[in-house]
Amino acid sequence: MKYLMLLFIFILISCKPKATGKRTDFNETQNPTNENELVKYRFNITMEWATRIDEFVVVENTITGHIQRKVEEIDDDFTVIKLQKKKYLESSLTTLIKNNRQRIEKKKNARELLKIIKTDDTISLYSYGLSDKSKFIKEYFAVMKTIYPNNHSFEYPKIIID
pLDDT digits (tens, 9 = 90+) for 59-115: 888 889 999 998 887 878 888 999 999 887 667 888 888 899 999 988 888 899 999
How far CA 12 is from CA of 37, 77, 87, 89, in Å, comes to 33, 53, 48, 45
Helix 130-147 to helix 92-99 angle (10° resolution) is 160
pTM higher than 0.85 for the full model?
no
Tell me what percent of the residues of the chain surpass a pLDDT of 90: 27
- Of 10 and 161, which is predicted with more confidence? 161
3-state secondary structure of 144: helix
Beta strands in 2-160 (DSSP E): 38-44, 50-59, 62-71, 79-87, 111-118, 121-127
